[in-house]
Structure formats: C-alpha cells, structure tokens
C-alpha cells in the first residue's frame, strides 16, 4: 500500500528537490508552502509522514509541530524536521516538541531516502499494532476503544467544517433469550453474522463497531439523518432475513435501531460525542419500547 508524505516548506526549490530525491520510493508526495496551510492539509489528508521546515515566514516549524501534536487527528503523524542549521539546541528542541528525526539541508540523497524509509516503516508497524488493538476478536468489527476515538474525531470534524455526521445504535432483540434457549455458541454465531452484515453495508468512510455485548454502532461521515435512517433500515431488513439454524431449527433474529445526527443539535456549542450518543440511545430505547425490530430517530431536544 502506497504511503503518503506531506512536505511543508516555503521554498519551491526544496519541493522540487524532494520530488527528485524521493521519486524511487513508493510514496505519494503532497506539498504545502506555509505552516498553517500544511497543518490544514495534515488535518484533512492524514499523511503517514510530514517533512517540516524549521524556518517559515508565517510560523516556525516548532510551532506547527506543537500544534500537530496537540491535535487528536494529527498527533500520531511522525514529523521529520528539515533544517539548514546544525545547532544542537535546535535539534534538541525539535525532539522535545515531538519530531522523530532531523534532516539537514542540503540533502544527501541516500540519507534522505534512508530516514524517510525508516520513519514510514515505523509508522506502518505502529498502525498495524494500533489497528489490531482496536478490532473486536469475535466479529472483526472495530471495538469500543476505536468507537470512542472515532466519535471524538468525527464530531469535532462535523463542528469544525459544518458537515453532517450520524450515529446508528443497534441492539439485538431478546439476545439473552437466544443465549438461554440455544446456547452461547449460537449467540456468537448471531453476533458474527450481524458483524458480516455491517461490514458488507459499510462505505469506506463508515465505521461499524461492536459497542459491547449484543450492541453495535455505526458512525456515518457526511451523512444526514435521512441517509442514516435509510442505512439503518437496510441493515434491519438484512438481519431480519438471516436464515440461522440451531439443530435444524430456524431461529428468527431481529434488531432495534436508534438514529441521531449532528444536525439535530440546535446549539453548535452543545455538540459533543456524548450529545450524539445519548440522542441515539434515546431513539434506541424508543424502538424497543414500541415493539422492537424497528428504526427510530432521536427527537429534537
């Protein structure tokens, strides 16, 4: 898989030099010519590595690095400083604010390639470990830890860019009865089948998660309430159509759904992951109270 590198430098010559020197690496190189534009690109593009100039007219690389490390969406992106100075104090400061390495200008081609390869290799391994730690072992969906992180990021993005996001909370109906009547192995089979449905329904920008026990969640980026209801209804129908058998007996399975959207929050200052989750939970409770196997939406507060 091609990794992405963002170069932030005010010198067009440096960008041209990086294009030439990194052309043999399997990387996609993007460019920003000032610090704040670079920060915005990092926030939206989530590169695997940032090459950051120390001295820029609008902000120093140290300030931009501090800002990157203080922001949830960018704090795990490794930063390599580019500098023409050999001052030890500057290098120490760079490491203190969160950089993983320094490359001194003018670049030695072999050294540049080696340091970039090393940083990208470490990032790839870290991503693999982090992803493994956030996968639910039974269903293969994202787990609760990933749900909490992703909700924070998506709600923050919805508020920052004024774009909608929605949350579907769902619960398998009478799951305890399924376990008691047919055994826990069959209950696990039900959860795995639902996990397959959620994974098959997800777009690349969606995050289906196992919230806990028999409860699942679906985080939908750039999706309004109407779109989320359509998704929830589609998943509900697929679950209702499952043909799961225990000892040749066909066992019906259904689920209830609660849907909320960021656009339902009337005061933008109140919008938070807690607000969206509680709204979806209220809708899920209403679905259960009104007969189960249905999709309900959160009322406007």
DSSP 24-71: TSSEEEEEESSHHHHHHHHHHH--SEEEEES--SSS-HHHHHHHHHTS
Q: Is the peptide bond before 73 cis (omega within 30 degrees of 0)?
A: no
User: Residue 66 and residue 255: Cα distance in Å, rounded?
Assistant: 45
Query: Tokens standing for 230?
Result: 């359509």
CA distances from 160 to 49, 155, 157, 221, 272 (A): 23, 9, 5, 13, 12
Catalytic positions are 214
SS3 160: helix
Place of tokens 């590595």: 49
**Going by DSSP bridges, is the β-strand pair 27-32/3-8 parallel, antiparallel, or unpaired?**
parallel
Give the Å distances, CA to CA, from 156 to 164, 176, 260, 265.
11, 36, 16, 13
CA 131 to centroid of chain Cα atoms: 10
């Amino acid at each position: 898989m091609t990794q992405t590198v963002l170069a932030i430098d005010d010198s067009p010559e440096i960008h041209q030099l990086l294009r030439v020197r990194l052309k043999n690496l399997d990387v996609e190189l993007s460019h920003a010519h000032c610090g704040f534009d670079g920060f915005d690109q990092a926030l939206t593009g989530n590169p695997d590595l940032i090459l950051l100039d120390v001295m820029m007219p609008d902000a120093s690389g140290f300030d931009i690095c501090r800002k990157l490390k203080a922001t949830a969406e960018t704090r795990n992106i490794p930063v390599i400083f580019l500098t023409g100075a050999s001052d030890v104090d500057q290098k120490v400061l760079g490491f203190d604010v969160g950089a993983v390495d320094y490359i001194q200008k003018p670049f030695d081609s072999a050294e540049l390639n080696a340091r970039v390869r090393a940083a990208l290799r470490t990032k790839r391994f870290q991503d693999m470990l982090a992803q493994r730690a956030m996968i639910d072992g039974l269903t293969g969906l994202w787990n609760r830890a990933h749900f909490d992180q992703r909700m924070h990021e998506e709600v923050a993005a919805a508020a920052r860019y004024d774009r909608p996001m929605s949350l579907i909370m769902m619960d398998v109906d009478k799951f305890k009865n399924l376990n008691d009547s047919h055994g826990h192995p069959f209950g696990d089979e039900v959860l795995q089948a639902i996990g397959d449905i959620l994974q098959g329904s997800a777009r690349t920008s969606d995050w289906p998660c196992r919230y806990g026990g028999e409860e699942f969640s679906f985080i939908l980026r750039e999706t309004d309430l109407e779109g989320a209801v359509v998704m929830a209804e589609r998943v509900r129908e697929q679950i209702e159509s499952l043909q799961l058998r225990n000892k040749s007996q066909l066992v019906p399975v259904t689920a209830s759904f609660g849907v909320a959207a960021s656009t339902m929050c009337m005061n933008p200052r109140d919008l938070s992951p807690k607000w969206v989750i509680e709204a979806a939970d209220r809708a899920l409770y209403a679905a259960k109270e009104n007969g189960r196997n249905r999709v309900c939406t959160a009322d406007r507060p």
